[in-house]
Structure 1
Amino acid sequence: MEGFMDALRLLQFEEYGAIAQFTRSDAPGASCDSFSSLNLGLHVGDDPEVVQKNRRIAADIAGISETRIVYAEQVHGARVAVVHADDAGRGAFDTADAIKGVDGLVSTARGLLLAILAADCTPVLFYDPYAGVIGAAHAGWKGTAQGVVMETIKEMKKLGANPEDMLVALGPAIRGCCYEVDQPVTDALEDMYRKLATREPIPFRVSERAAERTMVDLPTLARLQAEQLGVPHGQVIDTSICTHCMPGFFSHRKLRGKAGRHAGFIAIKPRRLSLRGRMR
């Protein structure tokens, strides 16, 4: 991973022929106030024309046409859709046209950029360079509790992907230092954790402010789900960025629901590159 002013680029993915990055909120864009400055969310109350300009800027940063981007509706669930070349542009210009009812997208189409928006939830990117399969998922607490990361990997396997060959990246998200939740959320996430075959301690701790509340690290739970399905620990890349207490990314909680959205983007580059050997 390498940090740039405009985006976090995943160099491990690029080495194997992908475009993979997480955009930054503070990259040069056209939005103002709490949406400043590269807000990519059309659904958050920002001027739609300004957001479209920002989306063109983000596409330029990624080096791909905005007409080749596909967005999911993102309903805080665990459903995943397979998308194809003829889905290019879905959700790019109108939220009503996004892929309905899903929080994950997978594809084998070269040059098709999968997009996931976030502002505290974990954007997760997936890539099997040998099978030529990519994925992107939105893992909020509800999606995490329902296993959206595992569901994305399962859909990729149906397209020929092998978890042992996958790279997985966990984008900027609210972390255990700042994500305080109530008992129903704790119960749902504990139930998911108990179903995982892991000896790693649950990434929870009691809140210092209120004993009945819990501090949760959602990206760690996403990582454990990927490892449950067979992705090697060393092939899960965690940006380790907390959107709530670190600069450069939107936080829905910090801005009390008035935040813009950054994005995770992934595509297989249009021109096939030679792969230099297995990752393991």
Structure 2
Amino acid sequence: MSEPFKQTNESYLHIENWQKHNPNLRAGFTTRNGGVSRPPFQTFNCGLHVNDETETVIENRSILASKLNMPLDNWVSGEQVHGTNVHIIDEREKGRGARSYDSSLKGIDGLITNKKGILCTAFFADCVPLYFYDPITEYIGMAHAGWKGTVNRIQEKMVQALVKVGVQPENLLVAVGPSISQVKYEVDEPVIQAISEENKQKTVIPLKNDHYLLDLKQLNVEILLQSGVLRHNIEVTNYCTHQDKALFFSHRRDNGKTGRMLGFLGFQK
């Protein structure tokens, strides 16, 4: 399958097919390049919660806001607690989390909206970014899926929340973004125990001493299929945050001292 995330500048990748379908849609994932942060956050860190200088992160975000023509004060982000809580954004929440981590939506890992001019944002350095787009209703969604969110089925919660507002699962397009690949994601028994037997067979390779390699991207795909999303509507990136050091930060590779990429999704007004 061809790579859904295309790079046309140093600072971000975009979901090519979605933006071709609707030129007003902004859908993508930042790289580590093109910003002003200093080591170990060099240079395009977009996370406010990693001990980088706040002013520097705001400058990086402002650079992206300008490139996307999506004002920073229209961005919204969740607190990201590795949970499964999903929130439907309205106009009054524009700017939540845009200039301070403390103002982000508390306890939220999934965002949904149909409001134009709002940019749903989430932050990553190995966890899986999930993008949802219904071309019929023009509802969109962005979710942060680490192993906890994945095994606790945040992707299913996103689909259920979208169905509640009138989206038909068979119309839903989903993209699975840059994240850690199976070959670099070694986990232990407690993680594997949380996965169903059916899904284990398709996503887990046993190693020695009760350790395993987990395909977190594919696990999200399997649960999306079980949630009613059609296989031909799911696009999966080949990018690995751990292996692509020139492009991405990686929490695991960099021993926790690193920046964050930003996943973004929104319609220009």
TM-score by length of 2: 0.93
| Matching residue's letter, 2:126 | D
* Structure 1 residue 111: Cα displacement: 1.4
Q: Distance in 1 between matches of 2:147 and 2:97?
A: 23
Larger CA deviation: 232-241 vs 132-141: 232-241
Q: Which residue of 2 aligns with 1:49?
A: 55
Residue aligning to 1:68: 74
Deviation at 1:257, TM superposition (A): 0.7
Counterpart contact for 2:70–2:268, Cα < 8 Å: no
Is the contact between residue 131 and residue 162 of structure 1 (CA under 8 Å) also seen in structure 2? no
- For the Cα contact (< 8 Å) 2:127–2:144, is it kept in 1? yes
Secondary structure of 1:76's counterpart equals: coil
Aligned match of 1:203: 203
Q: CA deviation at 1:202?
A: 2.0
SS at match of 2:64: helix
Aligned to 1:10: 15
1:77 aligns with 2:83: yes
Contact 1:133 1:160 in 2 (8 A): no
Residue 263 (structure 2) aligns with: 264
Q: Is the CA contact (8 Å cut-off) linking 2:143 and 2:154 kept in structure 1?
A: yes
Deviations 1:233-274 (A, max 9, x none): 12111111111112311100111111110011001232xxxx
SS at match of 2:122: strand
SS of equivalent residue, structure 2 residue 40: helix
Structure 2 contact 30–262 (Cα < 8 Å) conserved: yes
Alignment-mate amino acid for residue 114 of structure 2: T
Over the matched positions of the two proteins, sequence identity in percent amounts to 36
Is structure 2 residue 20 aligned with structure 1 residue 21? no
SS of the residue aligned with 1:202?
A: helix
Aligned residues: 261
Q: Which runs of 5+ in 1 are unaligned?
A: 271-280
Once residues 236 and 268 of structure 2 are traced to their aligned partners in structure 1, the CA distance between those partners, rounded to angstroms, is 23
1:114 deviation in Å?
Answer: 0.2
Structure 1 residue 129: Cα displacement: 1.4
Q: Which amino acid aligns with 1:227?
A: L
> 2:140 matched to which residue of 1?
134
* Structure 2 residue 255 is the aligned partner of structure 1 residue 251: no
2-side partners of 1:61 and 1:234: how far apart? 31
2:217 and 2:52 map into 1 onto residues whose CA distance is: 28
Cα deviation for residue 61 of structure 1 reads: 2.5
Partner of 1:277: none
Q: Please list the CA deviations of residues 106-128 of structure 1 after superposition, one character each: whole Å capped at 9, or x if unmatched.
A: 01111110001010000111000
Letter aligned with residue 3 of structure 1: Q
Partner of 1:34, secondary structure, is: coil
* Counterpart position of 1:273: none
Partner of 2:182: helix, strand, or coil? coil
Can you give the 5+ residue segments of structure 2 that lack an aligned partner in the other structure?
Answer: none
The equivalent of 1:276 in structure 2 is none
Matched residue, 1:278: none
Amino acid at match of 1:262: M
Task: Give the Cα separation in 2 of the matches to 1:46 and 1:181.
Answer: 28
Structure 1 CA distance for aligned equivalents of residues 165 and 116 of structure 2: 14
1:41 partner amino acid: G
What is the aligned-residue RMSD (CA, Å)?
1.4
Aligned partners of 2:176 and 2:234 also within 8 Å: yes
- Contact 1:164/1:231 (<8 A) preserved: yes
Alignment correspondent of 1:104: 110
Q: How far apart are the structure 1 equivalents of 2:201 and 2:116?
A: 39
- Tell whether the 8 Å contact from 1:21 to 1:62 is kept in structure 2 after alignment: no
Alignment of 1:118-129 (within 5 A): 118-129=124-135
Superposed, which structure 2 residues align to 1:223-238 within 5 Å? 223-238=221-236
Measure how far apart 1:62 and its partner are: 2.2
Q: CA deviation at 1:19?
A: 1.1
1: CA distance, partners of 2:222 / 2:192: 16
Secondary structure of the equivalent of 1:253?
coil
Secondary structure of 1:73's match? coil
Deviates more, 1:140-149 or 1:157-166: 157-166
Counterpart residue number, 1:241: 239
